[in-house]
Amino acid sequence: MMQPREDGKSVPLPKGLVKRVYRFARSYRGQIGILAIVTLVMSGLGVLPPLIIKFILDSAIPGRDQGQLTLLALAIVGVAAATGLVAVGMRYLTSRIGEGIIFDLRVSLFNHVQRQPVSFFTRTQTGSLMSRMNGDVIGAQKAVTETTAGVMSTVGDLLVTAAVMFALEWRLALAALTVIPLFVIPTKKVAKIVQQLVQRRMERDAIMNNQMTERFHIGGALLVKLFGNYDRETDVFASKAGAVRDLGVKTAMYGRMLYMSFAIVSAVGTALVFWMGGRMVINGEITQGTIVAFSLWLTRLFGPITSLSNLPVDVKSALVSFNRVFEVLDFPSSIQQRPDAVDVAEPRGEVTFDDVWFRYPGGPGVSIASLEDGRVDTLPVQDEDTWTLAGVSFRIAPGEMMALVGPSGGGKTTIASLLPRLYDTTEGSVRIDGHDVKDVTLQSLADAVGTVSQDAHLFHDTIRVNLAYARPSATDDEIIAATKAAQIYPLIKSLPDGLDTMVGERGYRLSGGEKQRLAIARLLLKDPSVVILDEATAHLDSESESLIQQALAATLRNRSSLVIAHRLSTITGADQILVVDGGRIVERGTHRELMQAGGAYEELYRTQFKDEAGRQLAMEAESTYVPGDVDPASTEIFS
C-alpha cells in the first residue's frame, strides 16, 4: 500500500498499520461488537418490505382479503418504525465510537506535541500541524467508524439479501450475482487515481491552511498591513486555493465516473433479472410479486457491492490519515525525563555550567519533514563543525546575580535556554543545586526556574487568567500583591474590567512595558528560586524603567538570577558579569574589575552604555528609591 506524495510519487505505508489502527481502537471493541449485532438486525429489517409487498401482490390482492391487506400495510409501517429506531441506535453507537476516537487522538496529539522541544516548533509549519490535528484526525476516525460500520452494514446486507433471494428463487438470484465480477473492473482502473487525488488534496489543504494561520496571526497580519501587500497575499492564497479547487474537481469527476460505471453494471444486472423474471412470469413459473420483490432487493444487493468496490479507496485514504497522525505521535521528543529522575526539593538556586558545548540540533531528529514544507523527504543535517557555545563554564551561588553581555548572536540567549532545558547540552553539563538538569524531573525544574523574556507572551485571555497561569491556585489577593510588586496594579485598577480585561492575542492591546510588567508579576506569582531575565527591560522607556526598579528588586531578592540585558542599570549591580562573544566567555568579573581591565567590556561600555550612564545618574538623583528598600506591602506575597 502506497502513500501518495504531492509530487505524484508514492512512499509505502508501514507494515502492520492496520493492526495498529485496531489496537488503537480496541478500547471500543465492546461498542463495536454491539454495533455489529445492531447492523445485522438492520440488515434483516431491510429485506422485509419487499417480502411484504410480494405477499400483498400475490396473496392479499388476488384473494380480496382486506384483513390481510390491512395487516400487511401496518407491517410496512411497523418495519419502517423499527428500522428508524435501530438506525437511531446505530447512529448513537457510531457517533460515540467516532467522537471518542477523535477525542483520544486529539488529546494524545496535543499532549505529545506540547512536550516537543523548542527546536521542533522553530521548524514546523503551524498550519500543517493543525491540519494533522483536524483533517487527518477525522480521516483516521473514519477508518474505525464509517469504514468499519460500512463494511459491517454492507456485508450484512449482502448475506441476508442473497440468502432471501436464493430461498425465494435461486435462478434469478444466480443471474443477479453473475454481474458482480464486472464491478471489479472500474474499481481497479479508477480507485487508485481517486486515492492519489484525495491525498494530494489533503497536502494542498495543509499548505493553504498554513498561509491562513500565519497571515491571520496578529504578527503576520501586522506585517502584511505595514507593507501593504494585500493583493500579493491574495494572489498567493488564490494560487494555493486554486490547486485545492482543481484537485477537488478532478476527484469529483473521477468519483462520478466510478459511480457511473457502477450504475451501468447495476443496470445490466437489473435488466438481466427482469428479462429472465419476465419470461418466467409469462411461463407461469413465478408470480409477479416475486419479480417485484426481486427488483427491490436488487437495490439492496448492488448498492452494497458498489460500496465494497469503493472500499479500497476509503480504506487507503483512512489509513494514510492514520499514518500521518502516527507519524506525529511516534516522533520522539529530544527532551525526555529519565525514569530515575529526582525532584529538586526546596531548591537553593545554585547554578553551574561545566564545560558546556552546544550546537543547535539538526537533521531528521529535530522535526518531521512533512510538517516543515509538506513534503516527505530528508532534512538537511547541520554542519557538525559549527558550535554555538564552546567550553562555557561558570557558577552562580545561591542568591547571586550574574549578567551576560556581549554582541548580538554571541550565545547569551542560548546559555539561558539550557538551564530550563529548552535545549540540552551537546557536551558538558548544566547543574542546579548539584544535580544535572537532565537528572531532575521536568516539573520540578520548571517550578525552580522562572523566565521573563524580551517578548513576553500573553494568551488571548484576561489579565487574571494570564497571571494565574503561573499558579492556578492563586487567590485574587495573591494576584493583586504580585501586580503591586511589579508596579502594574495602578494600570489594572484603572481599567473598566480590572483583572478581567482581555489582553488580546499575544497581549497586543498592551504596550511593551505593560506586557513586561505583567510578565514580571506572573513570575513573582510563580516564586521560583532561579530567575532568568532575557532582555526583560528592552521595551521599557525611562519612565517605565523607573517604575520597574522596585519590581526587579522584589524579583531578584533572595533569588539566583541570570540576566541578559542591554540596560546599564541591570548590569552594574551584578555580582558577576560575563562577556560572551562567539559562543565563548571572553571576560568575567564585576563592573569595576572589567572597566579597569580595559578589554572587551570596557569597549562595549563606551560604545553602548556611555550615553545611558548619564541618564542613569540623573534618574537616580531624582528618585527617592533606595536599592533594597522594598515596600513590605508589595512583597507580602513572598513572606
The confidence score (pLDDT) of residue 14 equals 67
Split at pLDDT 50, 70, 90, the class of 627 is very low
The confidence score (pLDDT) of residue 613 equals 55
Which phi and psi (to 5°) does residue 88 adopt? Answer: -65, -45
Is the separation of the CB atoms in 571 and 616 below 8 Å? no
| Average pLDDT of the segment spanning 143-148 | 70
214 and 133 within one domain: yes
Split at pLDDT 50, 70, 90, the class of 550 is low
DSSP helix/strand/coil, 605: helix
233 and 142 within one domain: yes
The confidence score (pLDDT) of residue 95 equals 84
Q: Where are the alpha helices (DSSP H) in 217-229?
A: 218-227
444 and 315 within one domain: no
The confidence score (pLDDT) of residue 453 equals 81
| Average pLDDT of the segment spanning 138-166 | 79
226 and 116 within one domain: yes
Residue 82 lies in a domain: yes
- Lowest mean pLDDT, pick from 197-211, 256-270, 536-550: 536-550
Model confidence at 617: pLDDT above 70: no
Task: Summarize pLDDT for 77-107 with one digit per residue, the tens.
Answer: 999 999 999 989 988 888 888 888 888 888 8
CA nearest neighbour of 407 among 582, 569, 599, 576: 582
Q: Which residues pair with 395 in a beta bridge?
A: 352
466 vs 455: CA distance, rounded Å: 15
- ∠ Cα 350 356 360 (to 5°): 120
The confidence score (pLDDT) of residue 5 equals 46
392 and 318 within one domain: no
Model confidence at 378: pLDDT above 50: no
Residue 503 lies in a domain: yes
The confidence score (pLDDT) of residue 570 equals 67
The confidence score (pLDDT) of residue 389 equals 94
pTM of structure? 0.71
The confidence score (pLDDT) of residue 581 equals 92
Model confidence at 354: pLDDT above 90: yes
Residue 459 lies in a domain: yes
Is the separation of the CB atoms in 404 and 604 below 8 Å? no
Model confidence at 351: pLDDT above 90: yes
Domain that holds residue 159: 15-329
Residue 341 lies in a domain: no
Q: Which residue has the higher pLDDT, 305 or 617?
A: 305
E-strand ranges in 82-168 read: none
Reported as type and span, the H/E element at residue 623 is none
Is the separation of the CB atoms in 578 and 402 below 8 Å? yes
| Average pLDDT of the segment spanning 207-220 | 74
The confidence score (pLDDT) of residue 429 equals 95
Residue 450 lies in a domain: yes
Extract the C-alpha cell encoding 427: 557536551
Number of residues that this document lists for the chain = 639
Model confidence at 383: pLDDT above 70: no
Q: Pick the last residue of a domain from 312, 329, 346.
A: 329
Split at pLDDT 50, 70, 90, the class of 365 is low
Counted domains in the chain? 2
CATH of the domain at 538: 3.40.50.300
Contacts of 576 (CB under 8 A, 6+ apart): 394, 396, 400, 401, 402, 403, 588, 589, 590
> Given phi > 0 = left and psi -120 to 50 = alpha, else beta, which region is 228?
left
396 and 307 within one domain: no
The confidence score (pLDDT) of residue 495 equals 87
Is the separation of the CB atoms in 124 and 264 below 8 Å? no
The confidence score (pLDDT) of residue 636 equals 33
The confidence score (pLDDT) of residue 538 equals 57
| Average pLDDT of the segment spanning 97-118 | 85
Amino acid making up residue 69: L
325 and 436 within one domain: no
| Average pLDDT of the segment spanning 425-447 | 93
257 and 400 within one domain: no
509 and 405 within one domain: yes
Task: Summarize pLDDT for 35-79 with one digit per residue, the tens.
Answer: 889 988 988 888 888 888 888 888 888 888 888 889 999 999 999
Count of Cβ atoms closer than 10 Å to residue 271 Cβ = 11
Model confidence at 374: pLDDT above 50: no
State the chain's mean pLDDT as an integer. Answer: 80
